[in-house]
Chain A
Amino acid sequence: MQSAFRKISRVATPIGGTKWYLSEDCLLAAKRVMYAVEYRRFYLRDLESIVVWPNRLWLLRPIIPGLLLVTLGGLFWNFVDVRTGAIFGGAGLAWVALELALGPTAHARIRTTGVTVDLPIVKRARRARKVLAKIDAAVRVTRGSAAESGTVPASGTQPAQPSTQTSSEGSPGGAPVVDLT
């Protein structure tokens, strides 16, 4: 049951989420919605860039539930029971503290030859560096072996030319229209 894929990241949602895996030649996104998993492959040879940036609205995550719980706790404290109020208020404060400790959530944009996709590659921005370093190392290994086998990177002074393929998903093995000679 050994898998060729190595899990590098997980972004959970209430009905599933996306898990990211690295294999020797591709970055695999396994997006789960309920009981169906869709796979999307980003071949390391096709990767051009990955950009991660913090979500501007992440502060709503601690503020809204925290405020609700603390308010509820205050109401319980005054009108029902001190212990119940303390439980709710404490939960609200703990939630705020946890969210602030975990830091901002993140967005990500993956750009390959011919397609740009917005997919969450990390849940929190603070993990981005670690995950990107793993991908970077895998890309460099793949590019290194590709260079040994004769593929030449494009000149640094020329802009990227999108290939005829429109999606990395539909190009198993790296590129359907590759001429590696």
Chain B
Amino acid sequence: MSVNINLFTASQSSPAAAPPPRNPAGTVPCPSCGGDVAADEAHAGWQSCPYCEKRLQIRAWPVIRNSTNAAPAMPDQATCFFHPDKAFQACCQRCGRFVCALCDLQLGAEHVCPTCFERGRVDSVLNGSKAEWRHRDVLYDSIAVTIGWGWILVWPVLVVAFAAAIILHVKYRKAPRSYLIPRRGWRFWWAYVGFSWIPLLIAASIYVRWLARRH
């Protein structure tokens, strides 16, 4: 049994995930009827599909054609590590392998081979490495907030929840800043506020009783 953790898979499994049909340049298939609708460049607002009258807002850009043909290697030329018949295009800046135009992956100014790219994607989850490779983050600070305030619903778990919040804070205190979209660390402290309000109420009730007894 395989478990898929990719949250985008559900949206991809629709028929729309299939390779797009070829439409004439500058046109977009209508999501309702599939007819070709020309994007109105002059008027950037709503327009109607000429076939089904559906209201659409379209932005279309010219396609940048990228060559997928790696040059074949000459007899005395350096070749790709993965394709021995293809000519050397770049050198992987991680492992040093020669790669052809097909295998040359660009991360900003850096060139990497497919193997290093996959390794980087896996490592990015564990170590929080290069931003381009990150594809998943776990929001430990939000977990702490849920624990900090959620214990009220199941109050016997108070002690365990408090310990869990402290462990999360200590272990992942730097995590929010390393997310692809960095967050501040205040949520860990907000979790403690959730723990503090019941003791405060107890103290307040004791104080009120003490005041009532005095008078």
A3 to B17, CA, bound (A): 30
Please state if B25 and A157 are interface contacts (CB–CB under 8 Å): yes
- A161-B59 in contact given A36-B136, A117-B11, A176-B104 (Cβ < 8 Å): no
Q: How far is the CB of B137 from chain A (nearest CB, A)?
A: 5
Asked if A128 lies at the interface with its beta carbon under 8 angstroms from chain B, I say: yes
Please state if A173 and B69 are interface contacts (CB–CB under 8 Å): no
Contacting A at CB under 8 A, from B151-192, are 177, 179-182, 184
Asked if B24 lies at the interface with its beta carbon under 8 angstroms from chain A, I say: yes
Contacting A at CB under 8 A, from B21-79, are 22-26, 28, 31-32, 39, 44-45, 54-70
- A173-B135 in contact given A52-B56, A162-B20 (Cβ < 8 Å): no
List of B residues within 8 angstroms of A19 by Cβ: 181
Residues of B at the A interface (CB closer than 8 Å) are 5-8, 11-12, 14, 16-20, 22-26, 28, 31-32, 39, 44-45, 54-70, 101-108, 110, 114, 117, 131-140, 142-143, 146, 177, 179-182, 184
Residues of A at the B interface (CB closer than 8 Å) are 1-5, 19, 21, 25, 28-33, 35-40, 45-54, 107, 109, 111, 113-119, 125, 128-129, 132-133, 135-136, 139, 143, 146, 151-164, 166, 169, 171-180
16 other contacts beyond A139-B61, A179-B68, with CB at 8 A cut-off? A5-B180, A25-B108, A30-B181, A31-B8, A39-B135, A51-B58, A113-B63, A116-B18, A129-B44, A132-B44, A156-B25, A159-B22, A163-B66, A176-B102, A177-B67, A179-B70
For this complex, 28 residue pairs linking A to B, each with C-beta atoms less than 8 Å apart, are A1-B184, A33-B7, A35-B140, A36-B7, A37-B137, A37-B181, A38-B136, A39-B134, A52-B58, A53-B56, A107-B31, A113-B63, A151-B64, A153-B63, A154-B65, A159-B25, A161-B63, A163-B68, A169-B8, A172-B106, A173-B106, A173-B108, A176-B102, A176-B106, A178-B104, A179-B66, A179-B69, A180-B66
